[in-house]
Amino acid sequence: MRHLIGIWLMNLILQTVVAYTAQVPTDSIALYFNETRQATQQHIGLWNKDLYGPLLMVDPETRHAYANVPDKAGTLRSINGVYQGELPKDLPISNTDISWSGVHWAMVKLPLPDKKEERTDLITHELFHVAQPSLGFELQREENIHLDDKEGRIYLRLEMAALREALLSPRLKQSEEHLRNALIFRKYRHLLFKGAEVSENGLELLEGLASYTGQMMSGRDKWQLRDYLVNRITAFEELPSYVRSFAYETIPVYGFFLYQKDNDWNKKIDSDSDLTVLFSEAFEMDMRIILQTYVRQVAEEYNGRAIADEEQRREISHTARLDLYRQKFLEDPHLEIRLGDIELSFDFQNIVPLDEDEGTVYLTIQISDEWGILTVDGGGALLRSDWRWVIVSEPHDIQNNRISGDGWKIELNEGFQIEKTGTGNYLLTRKKS
C-alpha cells in the first residue's frame, strides 16, 4: 500500500511539473510583442525606420526563451505562434543585443515591468542596439575611468544638477540657461581629463541614443517624460559608479529639449558626430574660454560646495577600496584566465576602475569562453584593460569541472584544468594531450 501511495505521489508530482512547464504564458508574450510592434510603427519617423526586429524574452532562472521569429538553426519551436526553446548555458542572459543561432537579437530578461511604458522603453532600447549599425553607427567600446575620479565625479554631478534644473524650470528661456551651464561643467571636465571628450562621446552615442530612443517610444507624454527624467537624475546620484551609467541619463535630457527645437536632430548625427559641439550650437553657448574661477562661481548655483565636500569624503574611502582590490587581485594568490572569443554580461552600475594599465573590477559578471563559464556574484573579478585576461581570487574548491572561490565559480569544459604556478598563483590552462 505504501508502495502504491509512493507511485501515486510520484505520478502526481510529475504531472504537476509537466503541467507547470507546459503552462507557457504565450498570451502575455504575444501581447508584449504586439505592444512593441505598435510602438515602433507609431514612431517610424524617429529614425525613418521601423526598429521592430528579432526579440528574445528569456527567463534567467530556467533559460526558457520566447521569440517573435525563428532562429537559423531551428532550436526554437513555434508554440501558439511564439517561438520557444532553451538557451545554451554558455550564452549570458541580460538586457542587451546579442548574436545567437544566426540572428542578431534584442534580448530582455523576464519578468518584464508591470507598466506598459517601462516595458516598451526597455525593449525598444535594445531594439535600437540591433538597428544601430544600419543607422550608420559604427561604435567602439570606450573607457571613462575619469568618472571615478573625484574631480570627474564633481563636474559630472554639477552637469546633472544643471540638467535637473533645466527640466524643472517653467520657461524654456530659463531651461536653456541651465543647459548652457550644464555644458560649462561638461567642457571644464573635458579640459581636466585629456581624451574625456572622445570617450564620453563614444558611450553617449552607444547607450545615450538607445536610452533616448526607448524613452521617446515609451508612450509617455511630454510632462510624464519630464517627471520621469527628473526622477532618474535624482536616482543617478546614488549609483555606486558613474563610469558606464552617465550616458543613459545625459543624452535623454539634452534630447528632450532638442526635440522641441528640431524633431529631426537625432537623424542628423552619425558615429563621427561630436555631441558636445552639437549641444553647444543648439543651445547657443558662447565659445569663450572656460576659466576655473568662473566655473566655480557657476557651481555655487547648483550646491557645488556640498557636492565637492561629499566627493572629498568619498575619495578617502574609495582610495582604501582600490588598495584592497589591488591587494586581492594583483598581490595575494589569485587565478589568472586567458580570454579568447568571449561572451559576457555584467552590471554596468557596479564596476570599479583601477589605473588605466591595471583594468576594471566588475563586482557581478558572467564570461563564457572555450574553457567554460565564469560566474562572479559579488566577489569581484579584475578584467584587464586589453580584455585579454580576467583575474579572480584564489580558488578554494577544485572538484573536477567545478571550481569556486570567494564569490565566484567556474564550470570548466573538458580539456582544461587549473594549475598552481611556481609563484603561488593559479592559471587556467589547456590539458596536454
Dihedrals phi, psi of 266, to nearest 5 degrees: -70, -25
Q: Is the pLDDT of residue 395 over 60?
A: yes
Domain of residue 122 covers 2-135
Please indicate, yes or no, whether residues 149 and 207 belong to a single structural domain of this protein: yes
Percent of the chain with pLDDT over 90: 88
Please indicate, yes or no, whether residues 63 and 128 belong to a single structural domain of this protein: yes
Asked if residue 312 is part of any domain, the answer here is no
Q: Is the pLDDT of residue 18 over 60?
A: no
Please indicate, yes or no, whether residues 187 and 222 belong to a single structural domain of this protein: yes
Asked if residue 310 is part of any domain, the answer here is no
Boundary (domain end) residue, out of 302, 317, 343: 302
Confidence of residue 21 (pLDDT cuts 50, 70, 90): very low
Please name which of 365, 354, 346, 348 lies closest in space to residue 318, comparing C-alpha atoms: 354
Asked if residue 66 is part of any domain, the answer here is yes
Please indicate, yes or no, whether residues 119 and 164 belong to a single structural domain of this protein: no
Please indicate, yes or no, whether residues 125 and 152 belong to a single structural domain of this protein: no
What pLDDT shows up at residue 13? 34
How do residues 221-233 score in pLDDT, each as one tens digit?
999 999 999 999 9
What pLDDT shows up at residue 142? 72
Higher per-residue confidence, 267 vs 20: 267
What pLDDT shows up at residue 135? 94
How do residues 308-337 score in pLDDT, each as one tens digit?
999 999 999 999 999 999 999 999 999 999
CB 204 within 8 A of CB 250: yes
Higher per-residue confidence, 162 vs 348: 162
Please indicate, yes or no, whether residues 281 and 181 belong to a single structural domain of this protein: yes
Q: What is the mean pLDDT of the chain?
A: 92
Asked if residue 311 is part of any domain, the answer here is no
Please indicate, yes or no, whether residues 258 and 158 belong to a single structural domain of this protein: yes
Domain count, the chain: 3
Asked if residue 45 is part of any domain, the answer here is yes
Please indicate, yes or no, whether residues 123 and 158 belong to a single structural domain of this protein: no
Q: Is the pLDDT of residue 109 over 80?
A: yes
Boundary (domain end) residue, out of 105, 135, 165: 135
What pLDDT shows up at residue 357? 87
Q: Is the pLDDT of residue 304 over 60?
A: yes
Please indicate, yes or no, whether residues 293 and 154 belong to a single structural domain of this protein: yes
Q: Is the pLDDT of residue 23 over 80?
A: no
How do residues 204-216 score in pLDDT, each as one tens digit?
999 999 999 999 9
Asked if residue 319 is part of any domain, the answer here is no
Please indicate, yes or no, whether residues 214 and 357 belong to a single structural domain of this protein: no
Asked if residue 392 is part of any domain, the answer here is yes
Asked if residue 318 is part of any domain, the answer here is no
Please indicate, yes or no, whether residues 121 and 172 belong to a single structural domain of this protein: no
Q: Is the pLDDT of residue 93 over 90?
A: yes
* Cell numbers standing for residue 285: 553657448
Please indicate, yes or no, whether residues 347 and 288 belong to a single structural domain of this protein: no
Q: Give residues with Cβ within 8 angstroms of 147, minimum separation 6.
A: 153, 156, 242, 243, 246
Residue whose grid cell is 563586482:
363
What pLDDT shows up at residue 117? 98
